[in-house]
Amino acid sequence: MLGNTLDYVVLRALAHDRNKATEEALAARGDSAINPDQLDTKLPKIIGRFEGRFPIDPTLRYLDMGCGSGEFTVALARQGVSQITGVDFLPRFVETAKANARAAGLEDRVKFVCHDLRTWEPEEKFDVLLSFDSFEHIDTPRPFMARMAEFLNPGGRAVLAFGPMFQSPFGDHMQEFFKVQVPWRGVLFSQDAMLRVRREYYRPTDPATRYQDIAGGLNLMRYSEFLEHARDTGWKFDYLRTNAFLDHPVLRSLSRAVTSTPGVRDYFVHNVYAVLRRA
């Protein structure tokens, strides 16, 4: 916006270091993204946003792609899913996920694997592919959407819920270390300035100089690009909803109008809920 130096000066004034931690400290701490006590209320809300199109069936085999620390994987097992595998490439997430499954007594239903999904070769196919709050972190999303088909049994489906999208108001995923929240930060300020402040005030042992390279990664995918990737890699939508957190009818109508307008929608699509099948 103002150049790297001035952008840095502005962002530094807006940041705090209360959540500063090294990657080693995070691994030792074993943090989960959500408190297990919240799962009983959050998961039904997420399932409800799919308006009856989210299958919960003990006879189906599920794959949780980018499972993180496994809270939703375990929660789905508690809901009745009897065969579910969670995959993530960050070891500290997978170790926490295994601990969550042990604590819930569900190790017979849940399996966790530490691997990069782009190169992982599963021993079996799956009926339902899941991705919760991780699709915006998958590098090279277009080739990955093509590869998803290799994980799927015939007639299977992919259930995706992800966001915030990078160009949406808080798509930089960096709210935790700013004391003043400026919308569209990732669009307005230079990448160099943003990641310099991130290193100094949030993750001192993560040397990333690109959003794609930070621990967890951000692929910078726009909503319009997601739609193109799905179409061009052979998927069709059984269900598609944006900004599903908006419950008021007026806000939902306004959101639909804005997010269906090319050239504008990429800046206002916060999250996406989608069910896809092979075309």
- Give the pLDDT confidence score for residue 276 in this predicted structure: 97
Residue among 177, 220, 170, 168 at smallest CA distance from 198: 177
pLDDT of residue 28: 72
pTM: 0.89
Q: Number of C-alpha atoms within 13 angstroms, CB side, residue 54? A: 21
pLDDT of 74: 93
The structure tokens listed for 154 are 């015939």
C-alpha–C-alpha distance, residues 123 and 248, integer Å: 45
Task: Read off the tokens for 244.
Answer: 């599903």
Beta strands in 14-78 (DSSP E): 62-65
- Domain count of the fold of the chain: 1
Per-residue pLDDT tens listing for the chain (279 residues): 678 999 999 999 999 999 998 878 877 766 555 555 566 677 888 899 999 999 999 999 999 999 989 999 999 999 899 999 999 988 989 999 999 999 999 999 999 999 999 899 999 999 999 999 889 998 899 999 999 999 999 999 999 999 999 999 999 999 999 999 999 999 999 999 999 999 999 999 999 999 999 988 899 999 999 999 999 999 999 999 999 999 899 999 999 999 999 989 999 999 999 999 998
Angstrom distance (rounded) from CA 36 to CA 75: 9
Determine the structural domain holding residue 93 and report its residue range: 4-278
Q: Write the CATH number for 16.
A: 3.40.50.150
